[in-house]
């Protein structure tokens, strides 16, 4: 029996309490391995900026070719995401992750060994396919496996490893400069976590939701027995069966049906807002933004490390507390903070007095921006898209939202420098702040709270009818359900 104070703590901090219970160790371990995909995502998007300084010398890249090398991973990721929604439904979330780990490992080695621009471009595009897949199949896999009361924290391991990957990429970039590390080593070393992901996933189970949805109820029961220390697994099996429509697969076009359309709007809205508030202008261009303040290159690289560290540390806060305070709270508070930071950054560049007398205001504003993003939009976007779509449309729904996320990542990062030229530095940051206000309104009116609810309860809360969630549309579908 636990003491009253222990059970009070468990109520208030379900993730922290759950993560340290011996019965949940297996679940926490599984989630960490699955979240390795997040590390690959963060490392690979973060590493290229600094490495390019050296690659361009070795391979003789023009400015256009350098941009293409950066863009290739984002375009590959958008395409990888859209393709793998189908795969995650057809061959299981787990097997999709094994494939993405293999693709990634080959891509990392290919990039490290590239002898020409074209080889590097192809390797980066190939890597993008794996990164786009891993970016949403990791949260999906974890969400479908863990107990509801710990889902916020465990799914956000993915974002935590994204931020750790970015941090490691920054550290490496710094090492490139100060310790003459080889860029080939920097790109190639990512093959190790890639292989660890592929091999690790072979030993992990498929998710009980996918198994039930494919008629493998006994296997699902066996998995649930391993991952639920204390809970009633028969109740959970019945709940999953009630929402699973074991006879037909959901298709992308089903996302446009009444009742589901709103979920698609929420998922894609979150995806787009996560990018258009300008996160990757800070992640990819922080040295450039800091150099506008007059700092030399070495100081800007060192300060960029603070940016990576703040992002990582505040994501830990989100992991620990998302299951306590809920998704909406962090989303609204975090987006408010980052919007204020953007206004401040705009003011800094607008007012010469501030530039002359408050040299650290730019860095402070960027750090505050990161705090807001790291507790809010960063983890909550990936978490919510793994929660809101009904089981039979989770693959296509998450794939489409992830596609939008990568497409807008590409659009924002590639228009940033032009935007600055057109509307000035302060104008650009105020423009992102305006989009932050739009995001707040969107979240306030449309985002549901999903804390503490099972995925099946969320499905019902959101008005997706139980059982066959969408009516069969074709005569063949109708025939298979009668
Ligand atoms: C976003 C990335 C971003 C990263 C920063 C992720 O959630 O999708 O675009 O670079 O967070 O931490």
Distances in Å between the alpha carbon of 332 and those of 151, 239, 277, 329, 369?
A: 20, 31, 13, 5, 13
pLDDT of 18 higher than 50: yes
Tell me how far the alpha carbon of residue 225 lies from the centroid of ligand 1, in angstroms: 34
pTM as predicted:
0.91
Residue-level pLDDT at 438: 98
**Is the CB of 100 within 6 Å of ligand 1?**
no
Atom 10 of ligand 1, residue of closest alpha carbon: 280
Residue-level pLDDT at 376: 97
Tell me how far the alpha carbon of residue 166 lies from the centroid of ligand 1, in angstroms: 9
**Is the CB of 159 within 6 Å of ligand 1?**
yes
pLDDT of 246 higher than 70: no
Residue-level pLDDT at 247: 47
pLDDT of 470 higher than 70: no
Q: How far apart are CA 329 and CA 331, in angstroms?
A: 5
For all residues of the chain together, what is the average pLDDT?
A: 89
pLDDT (average), residues 462-473: 54
pLDDT (average), residues 299-321: 89
Q: Residue 231, CB half-sphere, CA atoms under 13 Å: how many?
A: 18
Closest ligand 1 atom to residue 311 Cα is 12
Cα 319 to chain centroid distance, Å, stands at 13
**Where is pLDDT greater, at 106 or 254?**
106
Out of 378, 380, 406, 413, give the residue to mutate to test ligand 1, the one with the largest number of ligand atoms within 8 Å of its CB.
378
pLDDT of 333 higher than 50: yes
pLDDT, tens digit, for every residue of 56-79?
Answer: 888 999 888 988 998 999 999 999
**Is the CB of 279 within 6 Å of ligand 1?**
yes
What CA dihedral angle connects 95, 109, 47 and 175, to 10 degrees?
130
Closest ligand 1 atom to residue 382 Cα is 7
**Where is pLDDT greater, at 24 or 157?**
157
């Amino acid at each position: 029996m636990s003491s009253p104070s222990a059970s009070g703590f468990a109520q208030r901090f379900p993730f922290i309490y759950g993560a340290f219970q011996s019965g949940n160790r297996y679940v926490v371990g599984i989630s960490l391995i699955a979240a390795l995909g997040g590390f690959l995502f963060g490392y690979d998007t973060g590493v290229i900026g600094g490495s390019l300084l050296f690659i361009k010398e070795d391979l003789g890249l023009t400015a256009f070719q350098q941009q293409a090398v950066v863009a290739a991973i984002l375009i590959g990721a958008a395409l990888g995401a859209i393709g793998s929604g189908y795969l995650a439904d057809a061959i299981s979330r787990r097997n999709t992750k094994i494939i993405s780990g293999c693709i990634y490992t080959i891509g990392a080695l290919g990039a490290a060994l590239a002898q020409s621009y074209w080889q590097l471009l192809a390797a980066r595009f190939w890597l993008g396919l794996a990164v786009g897949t891993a970016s949403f199949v990791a949260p999906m896999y974890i969400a479908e496996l863990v107990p509801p009361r710990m889902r916020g924290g465990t799914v956000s391991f993915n974002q935590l490893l994204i931020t750790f990957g970015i941090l490691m990429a920054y550290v490496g970039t710094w090492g490139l400069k100060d310790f003459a590390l080889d860029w080939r080593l920097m790109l190639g070393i990512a093959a190790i976590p890639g292989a660890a992901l592929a091999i690790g996933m072979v030993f992990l189970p498929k998710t009980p939701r996918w198994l039930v949805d494919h008629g493998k109820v006994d296997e699902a029961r066996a998995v649930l027995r391993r991952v639920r220390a204390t809970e009633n697994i028969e109740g959970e099996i019945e709940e999953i069966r009630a929402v699973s429509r074991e006879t037909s697969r959901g298709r992308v076009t089903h996302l446009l049906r009444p009742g589901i359309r709103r979920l698609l709007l929420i998922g894609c809205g979150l995806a787009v807002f996560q990018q258009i508030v300008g996160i990757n202008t800070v992640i990819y261009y922080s040295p450039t933004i800091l150099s506008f303040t007059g700092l030399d290159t070495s100081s800007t690289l060192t300060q960029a490390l603070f940016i990576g560290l703040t992002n990582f540390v505040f994501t830990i806060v989100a992991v620990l507390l998302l299951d306590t305070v809920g998704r909406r709270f962090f989303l609204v508070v975090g987006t408010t903070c980052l919007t204020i930071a953007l206004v401040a950054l705009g003011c800094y560049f607008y007012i010469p007095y501030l530039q002359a007398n408050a040299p650290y205001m730019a860095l402070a504003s960027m750090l505050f921006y990161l705090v807001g993003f790291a507790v809010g939009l960063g983890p909550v976007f990936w978490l919510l898209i793994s929660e809101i779509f009904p089981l039979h449309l989770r693959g296509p729904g998450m794939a489409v939202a992830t596609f939008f996320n990568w497409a807008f990542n590409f659009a924002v990062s590639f228009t940033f420098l032009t935007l600055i030229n057109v509307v000035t530095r302060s104008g650009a940051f105020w423009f992102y702040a305006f989009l932050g206000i739009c995001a707040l309104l969107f979240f306030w009116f449309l985002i549901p709270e999903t804390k503490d609810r099972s995925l099946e309860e969320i499905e019902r809360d959101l008005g997706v009818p139980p059982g066959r969630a969408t009516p069969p549309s074709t005569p063949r579908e109708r025939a298979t359900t009668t």
